[in-house]
Every structure is written in structure tokens, then in C-alpha cells.
A and B are shown apart, each in its own frame.
Chain A
């Protein structure tokens, strides 16, 4: 397995990471099973895998929200013991604070870190412009569409400028156009500020287009099935625009790995839901 490789400094190192959930009166759910993975500094790494295979769970462990059952996760060589501002996260379901306006949501982290007022106002204004929500600053999340909420969630995380960005299907709720714009924005920010990005997606094309490497996970219990280098598919000169015939080939390659796992996950789903009904 070529999960442990690369010449650059390792930013995130996972060794034998396993997560078991205790479920009452049923066997434990093994969500993640013995994952070894090195994410290099400034790498953009995508994780794809069938639904329920443990992608979010893995991300939460890197974020320090869940404890690993076995193994360890190191960030900059230090063991992860809890959440920290070095790792920003965009949750699958946004988790915006409903009692704060768009502006206050984005300001939240800056205020918590006691950033000077002038600076935090400037950052916030800039981010609101970036996500195209000018005019919505003083609106509460309930008045936003799913895609708008997602953009606020991304801006809120970018505001604290973390070294590592953990993103759980960050563009899942966006329409096709906004999605492309936000993808390019992510690339731009990544190029500009040099961040290590770990993001989960269901969109294989998006994974190939954005990521340096794509991790394919198996159906539950989630293991690493393959790691595909996508860099060779990117046009060498253009950092921001990544379209080439190579991409389609990579997408196919990943789908070959993924197909069986998705079918397996669907069977699991059917079994567990019929088991629950009976």
C-alpha cells in the first residue's frame, strides 16, 4: 500500500486508526478499520467512498471531536487529543449557529480569538464578498438556501485561517455553477495561502479535479482500498484551471475501484434496515 509515501513533510499522519461505535443490544459498528495515511504539508487530499463507509468519522477523528478506538493520529508530529484552531472544519450539515446572522457567524471565530476589530471586520467583509453573499450579511441562517448556508460554513472556517482544512462534502449542497466557482475558489485559496486540505466528496470528478491524491475507501468497515495520484491528470501550467482529457481517465480508474464497494454498501444498507424493521 502506497499510503505512506512522499518526500514532503508529513502534516497529518494516521496509523492503524480504527473507530468502533458501541450500539446498545447490537454488535459494535466498526466505522473505520485500521487506516494508515500520510497527508503531506500543503497537499489537497480527497476521500471518496460509498455512503456510510466512515469518511465523516475519519474526518471527525482528525478534527479531534471523536477519539480513536485504536491507533493514533498525529498532526505536525503531535498526537491529536481534541479540537484545535489549527484544524478548521466544514461539516456536512453546516452546523451554522442559527441565532447568529451571516456576518456574526463568520465573525464568531475571529471574536473568540480576540482578533482586533478593524482586522476582523475587514476579513469578514472580504469573505462575504468571496462567497457572493453581499446584501445577506444581517440575515439569519433560516432565511438562506442550502447552498448559501454551505458557503457561509466555508467562509466561517476560512475566517480563522487554519493550517488544515477538513471539509465534509463541502460543495454537496451547491448547484452546478456555484459548485465550479467554489471549487476554483478553493484552489485559489489553497494556492495563495498554502493549506493542507482533507476533503470528503461523493463527486469523483470533483475529487480528481481538485485533489493531488484521491483516497478510495471500502464499504463499512472503512479501509483504504486505493490511493490514486491525480496530479498527473492536471494541466501542468494552469494552477487554477484543471480540465484535461486525463481527468476523465482518472475518474474512470477511480470508479473501477469504487463500483464493487458501492454495491456492497447498498447490500449492507438493505440488510441492516430489514434487520431494524424486524
Chain B
């Protein structure tokens, strides 16, 4: 069949990116090397773009002085807290909207109005309400992340619902069990995708609110170092935040694979 040629083509396409990713490792090393040389030879301003090796030295120094890990830990904990809170609120509200007409009626215009607006603008309000400490940072991030998550969960669950009602009526029995199973079979992948997309966003917002408020956290460390024109420390902070975000994104991918494997297995028995 022609589908043959098509499927062959798709397998090849799917393999191309991994090949590129493999290549990318070398090219990233190459970029770092070029940066190192350019900075050392003052081809680029070594004050603004200190060589990567100096950044490594700076990172080690800060770690030994106990000035890096506490900041990273604070940022990580806040981000994880905000993400978990956003999942709890976003997923349950999304499901409630899909299943209960009154909830849908009330929240639909709020979500569609709030989704495209920049929630960071609410920062002064959150400071006014919750002060300068952990709460305002975590709550603002939770609030901002909840919107896309509610929307993703609502869409995923709503589309299941028709099928669910239809088959529940046909079979008559075990409705609750089936609700659980059907929702999980169909909605979980989309909900997980929603969760995965808010992860980097949560990190950015936590770092940003830290930058706006001082205290402990990578954002505060970055801002303070910036005021002292200590660019190596700023860049170490930025890289630290990138690594944290990257690690949690990877963790999300790993958990997704685990959850979906488990879920495939259970559906196989059905």
C-alpha cells in the first residue's frame, strides 16, 4: 500500500531529531569552546561574557562558601510547591468544570479572560496581600500556572465525557469504576502534557518574583550580584536556574513515561 511508503517515511523522520540531538552535544561543546576562546582573547567583552571556565570556578567557589546551594534549594522548593499546588487546583477545577454545569458557567469567562493576560502584572497585589516572603511568590506562580492547566484539563476531560456518558448508559453497571478508568485512559495524557508545559513557566516566575523581592533564592542572588556588577555570579545563578528547570522537565518526562506505562498495562487487562 501507499501507507507503506508513508510509514517508512515517518519512521525515518522520527529518527532524524535524535540524530540531531546526538550531533547537538558536540556542537554545544563547540559553542562553549568558541565562547571560551573568544572571551579569553577579548574578542567578546570578557567583562560581560566571562569564559565558561571562569564560571565553573565561580560556581565551585560559591558552593564552597555555601552561597549557591541554599539559593538553589529555596528556588527549587518554591517552584515544586507552586507546581504541586497548581496541579491540585488546576486539575480539580478543570474536571469540575467539565462535569458540573454551574462550575463551568462561573469559571469559563474568567479562564478565557485570564488565560492570555500577563499574570506577573499582579505581583504588587500579591505582595500587598501576602507580603514579600515565600507565600506571594508561590501563590502568584500557582495562580499563573493554574490557568493553562485548568484549560488543558477541562478540554481533555470534556471530550472524554460524552463517550463516558454514552457508554455508561449502555452498560448500566459499574459507572463509578468506569468513570475512573475511562477518564484515566483518555484524559491523563493531555493533562500530563498540560503539567509539563507549566514546569518551565513555574521556574521562570519563581526566579522572577525572587528577583523582584530579595531574600533567599536564585533570583535574589542574581539581582544582588547584578547590583554589584558581579557578572560571573549572575551567570552562575542563571545557569543554576536553567539546570533546575531542565532537571524538573526531565523528571516530568520520566514520570509521564512511568504513569503512561502503568496506564497502558491496566487497559490491556480490560
A269 to B1, CA, bound (A): 8
Residues of chain B lying within 8 A (CB to CB) of residue A93: 2
Q: Give the distance to chain B from A76, nearest Cβ to Cβ, in Å.
A: 29
B4, B11, B12 pick with most chain A CB within 10 angstroms: B4
Instruction: Please measure, in the bound complex, the distance between the C-alpha atom of A49 and the C-alpha atom of B2, giving whole angstroms.
Output: 13
Per-residue 0/1 for A191-232: is the Cβ within 8 Å of any B Cβ (1 yes, 0 no)? 000000000000000000000000000000000000000000
A56 and B2 alpha carbons, distance in the complex (Å): 9
Complex interface residues of chain A between 78 and 93 (CB less than 8 A to chain B) = 92-93
CA distance A56 to B4 in the complex (A): 12
- Tell me the bound Cα distance from A269 to B5 in angstroms: 12
The interface residues of chain A lying within 8 Å CB-to-CB of B12 are 23-24
In whole angstroms, how far apart are the Cα atoms of A51 and B2 in the complex?
Answer: 7
Our count of residue pairs bridging A and B at CB distance below 8 angstroms stands at 23
* Chain A proximity of B20: nearest CB distance (Å): 14
Task: Find chain A residues with CB under 8 A from B11 CB.
Answer: 23-24
A9 at interface by CB-CB < 8 Å: no
Which residue of chain A has the shortest Cβ distance to B6 in the bound complex?
A93
Chain B residues with CB below 8 A from A92, complex form: 2
CB of B8 within 8 A of CB of A21, answer yes
Q: How far is the CA of A136 from the CA of B5 in the complex (A)?
A: 33
Docked Cα-Cα span, A23 to B15, in Å, equals: 11
Q: Across the interface, do B8 and A52 meet the contact criterion of CB distance under 8 Å?
A: no
Q: Which of A41-78 contact B (CB under 8 A)?
A: 51-52, 56
Which listed residue (A21, A29, A51) contacts B1, Cβ 8 A? A51
Contact string against A for B residues 1-30, beta-carbon threshold 8 Å, 1 for contact and 0 otherwise: 110110110011001000000000000000
Chain B residue nearest to A169 (CB atoms) is B2
A163 → chain B closest CB, angstroms: 27
The smallest beta-carbon distance between B110 and chain A, in angstroms, is 34
- Which residues of A lie under 8 Å from residue B4 when comparing CB positions? 51-52, 269, 272
Complex CA gap A21/B7 in Å reads: 14
Query: 10 tightest A-B contacts by CB?
Result: A51-B1, A52-B4, A24-B15, A23-B8, A24-B12, A52-B1, A92-B2, A23-B12, A269-B4, A269-B1
21 residue pairs from A and B, CB less than 8 Å apart:
A21-B8, A23-B8, A23-B11, A23-B12, A24-B11, A24-B15, A29-B8, A51-B1, A51-B2, A51-B4, A52-B1, A52-B2, A52-B5, A56-B2, A56-B5, A92-B2, A93-B2, A269-B1, A269-B4, A272-B4, A276-B7
